[in-house]
Structure formats: structure tokens, C-alpha cells
């Protein structure tokens, strides 16, 4: 990485020096062309002087014109022929013109090179910055449940606990382990999605069936958290996507909704689907903590975890919605988040293009 | 500022992770400390505007306002309550940043419970040295009280507010 950077910087420096040299060459050639015109003018003015002397010493005007074709004779006076003067100026302009075009072409080529190298350098700096941020965030995300695990274990080792207290600590530890496991899965998934190393199938899937399957898996947890989940999806709505990707998308949105409701002690989650002219829309509405409308876009960025007071999950990895967005993009669809504000609940809308050939 | 006595036995825990916050709070309570817990930097600053504690256990990566900013804000307000940073960011540069922000101690996650409790005790022990002294004129902060004790009862008033 470092060697490449040194190479890029050296190339950039060389190209900049070359551009300066071309600029200087251009200026030099222009001066040179003007100087040549000047020198030729001096030569011609000497010819005019000689012609004048010849005329004065009795040589005929005809003879003078023959000997010095660049000189015009009017009576007994010799002057520079206007055609020669024009020729000299034309020659100078022709040269300057040629240098200007050649120089401009070289300068343009060099400017493109500078642009390409500078862009590569900038892109590389951005990648390094992103990697640093990613590592910092990942380490933070892992260290927190690790610290909690260690704290629970050391508490058990240090203190005499009642069975209830021990049970609380064990539940806490199991939950921390679950968090770490979810994080590993999601980090791997998000890296895979980000690098584009995914091979998604595209097949028409019944939205109602997919949602019902996921909802069924969450029923017990929802009951425990005092959450009612409803799904109002007509049969026969098909979307063109990968079955696993659809499952992950719905699951992540459902987990997000449950996490948003947990801090308020219960509520409702409603899945509603509809078909517009060219799209299929699946909306997930929850009565949870909501978020500031301005955070609607930030939510889908990696490692965004809004505070329960103003957003979503306590325990989220900050990757769930990022994965949802990426999977939707890969399926040719999109996702958006809406909330009237903190405490107002939230609505996530998934949109797919209508499957061209829906099975009957 | 009010004339509330120093709350040497009281600890504010600022931690956004509920498990960790609960674990820390339970252990501090088991050691006999009175605790209060908040989950973001803004809440911490608001709460400290009206309350006094002997120690703040402060996470760095917090929602709303981060821990370093909370500490710097407190110091700028003249609040010298000891701060123990408890954070996943444990490299030397972060420790230096934390101490520069006005922190008194720094513990990287994951940490050892006993080490944490001993550090808390060490920081709060400073309050004990004030217990035997006549009440200082401005009794709010331990450091100013210690300064007064060092410079004697008729010594110049220290610059801390």
C-alpha cells in the first residue's frame, strides 16, 4: 500500500514538472517565433538600405527589383515590399499557432494524468479512512458486550448472589453472547455485501408467504415483549428477489421494530403491502420510539445506532438496516424510513419493481 | 453554585449500554455507593447541572454528546468532580485525549471488576481527607478543598471556582 502511494506521488510530481516544462516550452517557442520575425525584418531592412544605395548610384529600378525581390521601388525610393511584410507576419502566426495547438494538447494530456492520479490518491485516502473507522467501530461494538460478559462473570466470582440475581446475570450473559454472535454474522454479511461478493437469485416470491414465515418465528418474543404483530398482505403479490435476501430484509426490519418498541414497554407492528402501477410496496409500521425525521437517511448507514430516547435499538449492531438497504439495492428495489419524530413511531417502506412474469 | 456538601459516596454512571450500566451500578451499590445512571452525554450534563456526586464514571462513545466533550464542558463550567473514563477506546492516544479533556483516570473495556472498584475507591478516598477538616468556604469540590488545606486556613483563596 505504501509503495503504491510513493509511486503515485512520484508520478504526480513528474507529471506536474512535465506540465510546467511544457508551459515553459510554449512560452519560449512563442518568444522565439517573434524574435525570428524581428531578425528577418532586420535582414530585409538591410536589403532595402542596399537597394537605396544601388538606386542612388544609378542602377535601374528594374535591375534592383530583379536583384532584391523583397524590395519595392517607387520612383527613386526603395521600401520593403508589403507582401514580404505580410509573409513574415503570417509565418510567425503559423508557428505560434502550431506551438499553441501542440502545447495545449500536451498540457491537456498532462492535466488528465494529474486528475487521474489525484483522484486515485483521494480515493485511497478515503478507503483508508473508512477502514480505520470500521475497525474503530467494530472494536467498540465487540468490546462493549465483552466488557459486559466479563463484568457479569467477575460479579458472580466476587459476590455471593441469590438465585434470582444469578439468573439475571446468566440471562444478561446469554444476551451478550447473542449480541456478539449476531454481530459476527452481520459484519460478515455486510462486508460480503459491500464487496459485491454475493450471488443473489432472482425469482418471483410470494410476499405474503415470506412475511408470514418470518412473523411466525418472532411470535413468542413479541408476546413476551407485549407486542402485537399484524400482517395485511393480499395473496398474489410477487416480488422478484432472492428468497434468503427477502427473509433477511423482513427479519431485520422486524427486529428493528421490536427494538424500537421495547423501550416503551409494548405496542404494535403492522405489515401492509400494496401494488402500485409498476411497484410492490411493503410497509412496516411500528408504534415504537421513532426518530427525528432528519435521521431517516442516516439510519441506513453502517453502525448508526440512534439513542432509545431518539431512535431505535439499544442492542442493535448498527448493521441491520445497512444490510437491508444493500440487499434491496441488489434486488433492484429500495427502502426508506419515515417518522413524525421521537415518540411518534416509525414506518419503513420496501419497494420492489413488479415481477415481470408472475406465476399464476 | 449551591452550598451542597460534597457527595463523596455518590457516583454518576454515564453508559449507553444497558447491560454494562446495570452491572456497574449493581457492583457499586454492593460496595455501598449511592448511584445514579444516565445513558447519554446530554442527560449527564443536564443532571449534573442540579446534582452533585463524588465521581462520574463516563463512557466515551455516547449518543448526543460524547464523553470527552462532557468532561471538557464540566471543566469549563468549573466543575471539578473526578471523572473516571470507562471506554472501549483504550489505545494510548485515546487515554491521553481523555486525560487532556480533564479526566482523572482511564479504564479500557473490557476491564477487571476489582481493579475498577479499587480505582473508584482510590478516587473517592480523597473525600475522606476533607471529612476531618473544618468546612471549607467553598466546599463543593475536593480539589479546591485540598488546596485550601495545603495553603492553610488563612492562605490565599485558590483559583478554582
Tell me, what CATH number does A227's domain have? 3.30.565.10
Check if B115 contacts A (Cβ < 8 Å).
Answer: no
Same domain, A247 and A319: yes
Within-domain flag for A358: no
> Three-state SS for A339?
coil
Residue A199 lies in a domain: no
Averaged over successive runs of 10 residues, the pLDDT of chain B (161 residues) comes to 58 91 94 92 91 91 85 92 87 88 92 94 75 43 53 46 37
Rounded Cα distance between A238 and A210, Å, is 10
Please indicate, yes or no, if residue A24 is contained in any of the structural domains: yes
Which element (helix H / strand E) includes B83?
Answer: strand B83-87
Identify whether the C-beta of residue B34 lies closer than 8 Å to the C-beta of residue B9: yes
Question: Nearest CA of chain B to the CA of A141: how many Å?
Answer: 8
Q: Which residue, of A82, A104, A129, is where some domain finishes?
A: A129
- B42 within some domain: yes
CA atoms within 13 A on the CB side of A268: 7
| Residue B74 lies in domain | 10-131
- Cβ contacts of B24 within 8 Å, gap of 6 or more: A151, B13, B15, B57, B86, B116
Alpha-carbon gap, residue B109 to B87, rounded angstroms = 5
- Provide, as residue numbers in chain A, all residues whose Cβ is less than 8 Å from the Cβ of B97: none
Instruction: Give B40's contacts in chain A (Cβ within 8 Å).
Output: 307, 309
The answer on A240 and A161 residing in a single domain is: no
- Domain termination site, one of A143, A171, A194: A194
Say whether residue B118 is in contact with chain A using an 8 A CB cutoff.
no
Same domain, A89 and A185: no
The minimal CB distance from B64 to the residues A144, A147, A307 is found for: A307
CATH code: domain of residue B24: 3.40.50.2300
The answer, for B63 touching chain A at a CB cutoff of 8 Å, is yes
Q: Spell out, as residue ranges, where chain A has pLDDT lower than 70.
A: 1, 196-197, 305-317, 356-360
Pair A98, A209 in one domain: no
DSSP 8-state class, residue A298: G
Instruction: Give me the pLDDT at residue B4, please.
Output: 42
Q: Are residues A29 and A63 in the same domain?
A: yes
Residue B137 distance to chain A (closest CA, Å): 40
* Within a domain: B84: yes
Subunit contact B17:A176, Cβ cutoff 8 A: no
| DSSP output for A206-240 | EHHHHHHHHHHHHHHHHHHTTEEEEEE--TT-EEE
Domain extent at residue A286: 204-353
- In angstroms, the Cα distances linking A281 to A337, B79, B101 are 13, 54, 49
Which triple of cell numbers denotes residue A310?
431518539
pLDDT in tens, A95-119: 888 888 988 898 899 899 989 989 9
A180 touches chain B (CB under 8 A): no
Domain contains A360: no
Which chain A residues have a beta carbon less than 8 Å from that of B30? 159
Q: How near does any CA of chain B get to the CA of A204, in Å?
A: 41
What was the ipTM of the complex prediction?
0.74
> Is the same domain home to A215 and A287?
yes
Residue A31: inside a domain = yes
Task: Indicate which of B109, B114, B115, B117 best probes the interface with A, i.e. most A CBs within 10 Å of its own CB.
Answer: B109
- Name every chain A residue with its beta carbon within 8 A of the beta carbon of B113: 150-151, 154-155, 158
Tell me, yes or no, whether A211 and A322 share the same domain.
Answer: yes
- The answer to whether residues A270 and A346 belong to one domain is yes
Cβ atoms within 10 Å, residue B64: 17
CATH number of the domain to which A161 belongs? 1.10.287.130
* Same domain as A298, residue A216: yes
* Structural domain contains residue A282: yes
Give the DSSP letter of residue B25: H
In a domain, A101, yes or no: yes
Supply the pLDDT for residue A309: 41
pLDDT digits (tens, 9 = 90+) for A288-342: 888 888 888 888 887 776 654 433 344 566 788 888 998 898 888 999 999 998 8
The helix, strand and coil proportions of chain A, stated in percent and rounded to the nearest 5, come to: 65, 15, 20
Closest Cα partner for A317 from A256, A276, A268?
Answer: A256
Q: What is the model's pLDDT at position B136?
A: 42
Say which of A154, A158, A175 has its CB closest to residue B19. Answer: A175
- Please count the structural domains in chain A: 3
Domain count of the fold of chain B: 1
Are A110 and A170 members of one domain?
Answer: no
CA dihedral A110, A113, A114, A115 (to 10 degrees): 120
Assess whether A141 and A124 both reside in one domain: no
Boundary-marking domain end, from A168, A194, A220: A194
Cβ of B64 under 8 Å from any chain A Cβ?
Answer: yes
Give the other-Cβ count within 10 Å of A42's Cβ.
9
- The full DSSP string for B47-75 is HHTT---SEEEE-SS-SSS-HHHHHHHHH
Is A276 domain-assigned? yes
| Whether residue A37 is found in the same domain as residue A97 | yes
Within a domain: B144: no
Nearest to B23 among A152, A308, A310 (CB): A152
B17 → closest Cβ in A136, A144, A152:
A144
Torsion of CA B38, B40, B45, B48, to 10 degrees: 10
According to DSSP, the residues that pair with A269 across neighbouring strands are A229, A286
- A141 grid coordinates: 461494538
A183 chain-B contacts, CB cut-off 8 A: none
Name the β-bridge partners of A272: A232, A283
Q: Is residue A317 within 8 angstroms of chain B, CB to CB?
A: no
B142 and A CB contact within 8 Å: no
Give pLDDT, residue A127. Answer: 81
Q: Which of B88, B89, B108, B118 to mutate to test the interface with A (most CBs of A within 10 A)?
A: B88
Amino acid at each position: 500500500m505504501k509503495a503504491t502511494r510513493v509511486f503515485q506521488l512520484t508520478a504526480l510530481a513528474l507529471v506536474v514538472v512535465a506540465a510546467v516544462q511544457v508551459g515553459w516550452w510554449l512560452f519560449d517557442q512563442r518568444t522565439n517565433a517573434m524574435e525570428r520575425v524581428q531578425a528577418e525584418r532586420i535582414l530585409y531592412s538591410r536589403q532595402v538600405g542596399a537597394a537605396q544605395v544601388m538606386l542612388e548610384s544609378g542602377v535601374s529600378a528594374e535591375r534592383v527589383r530583379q536583384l532584391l525581390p523583397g524590395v519595392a521601388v517607387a520612383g527613386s525610393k526603395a521600401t520593403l515590399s508589403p507582401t514580404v511584410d505580410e509573409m513574415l507576419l503570417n509565418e510567425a502566426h503559423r508557428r505560434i499557432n502550431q506551438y499553441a495547438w501542440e502545447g495545449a494538447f500536451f498540457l491537456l494530456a498532462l492535466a488528465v494524468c494529474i486528475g487521474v492520479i489525484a483522484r486515485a490518491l483521494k480515493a485511497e485516502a478515503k478507503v483508508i479512512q473508512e477502514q480505520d473507522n470500521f475497525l474503530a467501530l467494530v472494536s467498540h461494538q465487540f468490546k462493549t458486550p465483552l466488557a459486559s460478559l466479563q463484568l457479569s462473570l467477575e460479579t458472580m466470582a466476587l459476590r455471593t448472589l441469590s438465585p434470582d440475581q444469578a439468573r439475571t446475570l446468566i440471562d444478561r450473559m446469554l444476551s451478550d453472547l447473542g449480541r456478539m454472535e449476531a454481530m459476527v454474522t452481520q459484519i460478515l454479511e455486510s462486508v460480503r455485501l459491500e464487496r459485491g461478493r454475493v450471488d443473489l437469485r432472482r425469482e418471483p416470491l410470494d410476499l405474503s408467504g415470506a412475511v408470514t414465515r418470518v412473523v411466525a418465528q418472532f411470535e413468542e418474543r413479541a408476546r413476551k415483549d407485549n407486542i402485537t404483530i399484524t400482517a395485511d398482505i393480499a395473496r398474489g403479490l410477487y416480488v422478484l428477489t432472492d428468497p434468503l435476501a427477502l427473509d433477511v430484509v423482513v427479519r431485520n426490519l422486524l427486529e428493528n421494530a421490536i427494538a424500537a418498541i421495547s423501550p416503551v414497554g409494548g405496542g404494535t407492528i403492522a405489515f401492509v403491502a400494496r401494488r402500485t402501477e409498476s411497484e410492490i410496496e411493503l410497509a412496516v409500521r411500528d408504534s415504537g420510539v421513532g426518530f427525528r425525521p432528519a435521521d431517516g437517511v442516516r439510519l441506513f448507514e453502517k453502525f448508526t445506532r440512534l439513542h432509545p430516547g431518539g431512535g431505535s435499538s439499544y442492542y442493535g449492531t448498527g448493521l441491520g438496516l445497512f444490510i437491508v438497504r444493500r440487499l434491496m439495492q441488489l434486488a433492484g428495489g429500495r427502502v426508506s424510513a419515515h417518522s413524525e419524530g421521537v415518540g411518534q413511531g416509525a414506518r419503513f417502506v420496501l419497494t420492489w419493481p413488479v415481477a415481470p412474469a408472475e406465476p399464476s | 453554585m449551591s452550598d451542597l456538601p460534597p457527595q463523596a459516596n455518590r457516583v454518576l454512571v454515564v453508559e449507553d449500554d444497558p447491560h454494562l450500566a446495570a452491572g456497574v451500578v449493581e457492583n457499586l451499590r454492593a460496595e455501598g455507593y449511592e448511584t445514579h445512571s444516565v445513558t447519554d452525554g446530554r442527560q449527564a450534563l443536564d443532571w449534573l447541572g442540579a446534582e452533585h456526586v463524588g465521581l462520574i464514571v463516563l463512557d466515551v462513545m455516547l449518543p448526543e454528546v460524547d464523553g470527552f466533550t462532557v468532561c471538557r464542558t464540566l471543566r469549563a463550567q468549573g466543575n471539578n468532580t473526578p471523572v473516571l473514563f470507562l471506554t472501549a477506546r483504550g489505545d494510548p492516544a485515546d487515554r491521553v485525549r481523555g486525560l487532556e479533556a480533564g479526566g482523572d483516570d482511564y479504564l479500557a473495556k473490557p476491564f477487571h471488576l476489582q481493579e475498577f472498584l479499587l480505582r473508584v475507591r482510590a478516587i473517592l478516598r480523597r473525600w475522606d481527607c476533607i471529612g476531618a477538616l473544618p468546612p471549607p468556604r467553598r466546599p463543593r469540590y475536593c480539589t479546591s478543598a485540598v488546596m485550601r488545606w495545603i495553603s492553610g486556613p488563612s492562605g490565599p483563596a485558590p483559583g478554582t471556582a
